[in-house]
Homo-oligomer: A and B are copies of this chain.
């Protein structure tokens, strides 16, 4: 793969372009906002504007709701031979692209599992994808060349390509990313009702638990809407457990702890399962943070 175009020079698009520049490829940069494309070019991410002949691969780095329309438009325009995207939802854009009559032999879904809570080209980093999974979701009819080029893209960015079926991908990210994001937002939103003296007691534990809630609200509305069924499934289970925990706490609030063994046992079960669940994703990145204070 020798030539690439990036459509959408936000955080992810610009980070990909910067990574490619580090590997000797000069991407063509396009954005609905010409200023964003110029800004990315100014950061050394490539050259502004479409190529004169189709590039090998175009990366659609736009929100999930716009993938299908941008793919259709750029295929008609002949921007690239093959296309991939980077959005965090795969089923709905793939279906919408089919409905719009896109050439799906020349498109493969992609999702680099990296990001930051800041957005825009100024937050971009060429090493953002280093050693991160980069999911590829070839569907029935996806051409081999498109898959291979998207795989090369992932590798050029230092990521680990992982092939996954579209619906499985969407269920996975609902569990590990989309549902946690909404829950973190709900927790953070509660702080708007807190008195100032309450917030002065906030520590690193709360900051970590709500950090992802700082992400762009518009983009996340789009992500959650596009993966609504899978996210609703995870959150329905969380809601059932939360309602049960609230009931247990209300029991304990009226009865002294010694008389509330059922409520205590219920809470202990939830907390113990939380400890076990957390252990499943204990990563090496935790080690460097182990000195951070959690506030009991």
The residues of A with any CB-CB pair to B shorter than 8 Å are 65, 88, 113-118, 125, 128, 132-133, 135, 162, 164, 168, 171-173, 175-177, 179-195, 197-226, 228-229, 231-232, 234-239, 241-243, 245-246, 249-253, 257, 260, 263-264, 267-268, 270-283, 285-286, 289-296
Contact = CB atoms under 8 A, between A and B. Distances in A.
Q: Which of A173, A193, A204, A283 has the most CB of B within 10 A?
A: A204
Contacts of A277: 187-192, 210, 213
Given A114-B295, A213-B278, 19 more contacts: A88-B295, A116-B290, A116-B293, A162-B200, A177-B206, A180-B205, A180-B209, A182-B245, A183-B242, A188-B277, A189-B270, A191-B280, A207-B282, A211-B289, A213-B271, A214-B275, A219-B296, A220-B267, A242-B242
Given A213-B274, A213-B277, A221-B271, A183 B185 contact: no
A186 B224 contact: no
When all copies of this chain in the complex are counted, the total is 2
Contacts of A235: 242, 245-246, 249
Contacts of A190: 175, 179, 234, 237-238, 277
Contacts of A232: 246, 249-250, 253
A191 B116 CA distance: 22
B197 A176 contact: no
> Mostly helix, strand, loop or mixed at chain A's interface?
helix
A200 B236 CA distance: 23
26 contacts: A113-B203, A114-B293, A116-B291, A162-B200, A168-B197, A172-B197, A173-B295, A175-B190, A176-B191, A176-B199, A180-B209, A182-B267, A189-B241, A189-B270, A189-B274, A190-B237, A190-B277, A192-B276, A202-B281, A204-B285, A215-B275, A215-B296, A221-B268, A229-B250, A243-B243, A289-B289
